[in-house]
Each structure stands twice: as structure tokens, then as C-alpha cells.
């Protein structure tokens, strides 16, 4: 008489599954905390000459733009270029911060694609 094998899950596999669920719950909680932290964070980007500063949250929400008096005297076209430079700088810093923090959160979990 052959003994049934069930679904092929031994106790070791059940422990692995339980550990995976626990890790997923930890990542979910950490992601929630990270999102709250990113919302409170302020990241400043600057134009090349430093005349314009754009401040956004860690999740790319614009907060404010600071324009020096010198920038106003450069004309509309140069002002537009400087604002774009500062926005790109703030965006790049923000996405890099988010990437680094997500890597910290998921380190050691061996999640494919992360």
C-alpha cells in the first residue's frame, strides 16, 4: 500500500512559507512607514547657478520654488531654464532617495527584480 504524499509540503516547506509570509508583512509595514517618512521629507534641487531652488517631498510632491532676485533680472527664457534645471535636480535627488530607502527595506529578502 502506498502512502499518500499530500501536496508535497513537508514541515520544512511550511516553515519556509510561514517565514516568507512574515517577511512580506514586515516589508508591507516598512513600506507604509517609508511612505509616511517620504511625505514629510523635503529635498531641495538647484539650478546650475544656484539662483533657483525647488523643494519637493520625498515622493516628488512639489512644495515650493525659491527664486533669487538675480534670477529675475536674467529674463523669462533664462528663468524658465533655471527652474527646469532645479526641478530636474530635485526630482533626481528624490527618486534616488526613494530607491536607496527601498533597497534598505528589501535587503536580504531575495525578491526577484529588486
pLDDT tens-place values along the chain, 114 residues long? 455 555 555 666 777 778 778 887 877 888 888 889 989 999 999 999 999 999 999 889 999 999 999 998 999 999 999 999 999 999 999 999 989 988 888 776 655 554
Bridge partners, residue 45, by sequence: 54
Domains of the chain: 13-106 (3.30.1310.10)
114/43 Cα distance (integer angstroms)? 24
Largest interatomic CA distance in the chain = 93
48/74 Cα distance (integer angstroms)? 14
Which pTM was predicted? 0.71
109/105 Cα distance (integer angstroms)? 9
92/60 Cα distance (integer angstroms)? 9
Q: What is the pLDDT of residue 19?
A: 77
Yes or no: say if 99 and 63 are a contact pair by the CB < 8 Å rule.
Answer: no
Amino acid at each position: 500500500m502506498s502512502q499518500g504524499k499530500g501536496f508535497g509540503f513537508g514541515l520544512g516547506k511550511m516553515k519556509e512559507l510561514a517565514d516568507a509570509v512574515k517577511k512580506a508583512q514586515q516589508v508591507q509595514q516598512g513600506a507604509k512607514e517609508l511612505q509616511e517618512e517620504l511625505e514629510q521629507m523635503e529635498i531641495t534641487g538647484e539650478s546650475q547657478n544656484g539662483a533657483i531652488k525647488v523643494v519637493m517631498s520625498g515622493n516628488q510632491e512639489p512644495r515650493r520654488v525659491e527664486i533669487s532676485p538675480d534670477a529675475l533680472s536674467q529674463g523669462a527664457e533664462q528663468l524658465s531654464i533655471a527652474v527646469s534645471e532645479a526641478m530636474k535636480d530635485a526630482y533626481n535627488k528624490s527618486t534616488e532617495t526613494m530607491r536607496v530607502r527601498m533597497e534598505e527595506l528589501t535587503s536580504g529578502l531575495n525578491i526577484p527584480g529588486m
